[in-house]
Amino acid sequence: MIESWRWFGPEDPVTLEQIVEAGAKGIVTALDHIPTGEIWPLTDIEERKRKIESYGLTWKVVESVPVHTEIKSGSGHFKHYISNYQQTITNLGENGIECICYNFMPVLDWTRTNLKLDLPNFSQALSFDISEFAAYDIFILERANASESYPQEIQEKAQLKYVNMTEVDKEKLEKNIIAGLPGGEGSHTRESLRKAINLFKNLGENKLREHLYDFLKRIIPVAEKHSINMAIHPDDPPFGLFGLPRVVSTADDAEKIMREVPSLCNGLTLCAGSFGARSDNDLISMVENFGEKIHFTHLRNIRRKTDGSFTESEHLAGDNDMVGIIKAILEVEEKSGREMPMRPDHGHTMGEERHREDVRPGYSYSGRMKGLAELRGVIHAVKTLSKTSQA
């Protein structure tokens, strides 16, 4: 596996020097200063590449080239945005990029309700609590008929949570949900969120899928031409929010996407934390079945509750069988003769970083370094044991 690290560019408080110290070899980054939908200029791509390579690191994976809302909703200038996306793929291909991670979530990219959940060991984790989310949706955003999106039990819990919230709690919850998380696709105000929800409200699951397939049919040939693997990121959390459909939440969704546009370049980002937030996603079978079509992995762990809520746990301690997943990925690598870029996804906020304002939720230095070191240990042990057993 190619140990990689997500770097948010020159604005990132984590420096390339620190990333080299952590032992990563690959950088995963994006040109977040380019507005969604615009073409990524060759000059900006070249400049980012030069900077990365000057530290002896490589840049093969982009995360993400965001897909414009009008492509997802099939409205407005979607054709123009698809053609810009094609040009961005071309420009990235000319600079040696091998993999592009993207998502097709409507309205919100990854979403959490708490960004600083205190853990017994003093660190802080990210978490998603479905009744807090429902409290926001039903009582703060006041989306029409929002309560119909939740079972009775969650509605009751949400109400109880809401009545016990102070104004500060309400503001914080809203900010956590809509202000935008690192690498996400911008931020919303309550008003812009309402508008965005309305754009997708009547679309339905089938139409959203159709728009994804249409997008893929137009971009995969361009990706093939430039030997770029498109790696769709699963929905996070892997179920609908605000009563809107999501179409990349299960193994079955992923299978359909790959079947609809059959090409080795039409593959997946195996985000263990996102797919793993559902107990019906069997991650090891997914690695075995999708094999070479997994182009990139996010290794992270979670502790699930039965209602859809989850907390991000330490990389080796959670409901995901991390050793099993790594073993399965190494077997795919062995068969395909190709090394898979992986990054330790998220990490707890710990040590002095807990007191810093500039640390991005989930993307602390020490938390990810700890995660990377633990994962590296597992990779090393699995490889060593497999060699010993073959000897």
* Contacting residues toward ligand DNO, per CB under 6 A: 63-64, 101-103, 109-110, 183-184, 233, 271, 298, 362
Query: Tokens representing 111?
Result: 């979403």
Active-site hit among 81, 271, 295, 365: 271
Annotation says 345 is catalytic: yes
Closer residue to ligand DNO in complex, CB, 2/382: 2
Q: Which residues have C-beta within 8 Å of that of residue 341, sequence separation ≥ 6?
A: 1, 2, 4, 26, 28, 60, 61, 99, 295, 296, 297
Closer residue to ligand DNO in complex, CB, 101/230: 101
The DSSP code for 338 is: -
What's the closest the beta carbon of residue 264 comes to ligand DNO, in angstroms? 20
What's the closest the beta carbon of residue 32 comes to ligand DNO, in angstroms? 11
Closer residue to ligand DNO in complex, CB, 308/362: 362
What's the closest the beta carbon of residue 298 comes to ligand DNO, in angstroms? 6
> Percent helix, strand and coil across the chain, each rounded to 5?
45, 15, 40
**Measured at CB, which residue is nearest to ligand DNO?**
64
Annotation says 235 is catalytic: no
Active-site hit among 233, 295, 315, 348: 233
Query: Tokens representing 100?
Result: 């592009």
Closer residue to ligand DNO in complex, CB, 126/251: 126
Active-site hit among 102, 346, 348, 365: 346
What's the closest the beta carbon of residue 7 comes to ligand DNO, in angstroms? 13
Active-site hit among 85, 162, 363, 365: 363
Cα separations in angstroms, 75 against 13, 78, 86, 211: 37, 6, 18, 10
Annotation says 226 is catalytic: no
Task: Give the chain's largest Cα–Cα span.
Answer: 65
Cα separations in angstroms, 226 against 21, 89, 270, 284, 383: 32, 8, 22, 30, 32
Strand, helix or coil at 164?
coil
What's the closest the beta carbon of residue 153 comes to ligand DNO, in angstroms? 29
- C-alpha span between 309 and 118 (Å, rounded): 16
- C-alpha span between 339 and 346 (Å, rounded): 22
Determine how β-strand 58-63 pairs with β-strand 114-118: unpaired
Query: Tokens representing 43?
Result: 């000059």
* Residues belonging to the active site: 233, 271, 298, 345-346, 363
